[in-house]
Homo-oligomer: A and B are copies of this chain.
Amino acid sequence: MRTRNYSRKREAVLEMIRSCKCHPTAAWVYHGLREQFPDLSLGTVYRNLVLFKQEGTILSVATIDGQERFDGLVDPHGHFICRTCGAISDMDVPAALSRDMAAQRQLQQCRVDRVDCTVYGTCAACLQH
């Protein structure tokens, strides 16, 4: 599946993002890896996130409170974002929806890379204070 050979730290950054469901920030990845790599630099995390984004290995989901949130799951799916606590969780997107949206634009000579569906609201936990 993976075609390139990543360095240990690069690999760890990717694995960190893939192995959690929290759609983390750069800082979260950095702090989570400090134990395993005490000499890890925040710049390395950012550098690799940019790289992974360019490769299409990860996705940028949204930026919440000024912080970019990433997703290691690149298969088509949607997100629910709680505006109160900032939690992001995955959702199903009806295939008809993304098909319809993509078709709309393809008719207008655009190239479509991705259809992103996000529901904004308040999660159950935050609703009960």
Contact = CB atoms under 8 A, between A and B. Distances in A.
B113 A116 contact: no
A110 B122 contact: yes
Interface string A36-54: 0000000000000000000
B111 A119 contact: no
What range describes how many residues of A lie at the interface?
A: 35 or more
B104 A114 contact: no
Contact of A127 (B94, B97, B111): B111
Contact of A122 (B98, B104, B111, B120): B111
A75 interface: no
Interface in A112-126: 112-124
Contacts of A31: none
A86 interface: no
14 contacts: A80-B105, A80-B110, A91-B105, A101-B119, A105-B119, A109-B124, A109-B127, A111-B121, A112-B120, A113-B121, A114-B121, A116-B118, A117-B118, A118-B118
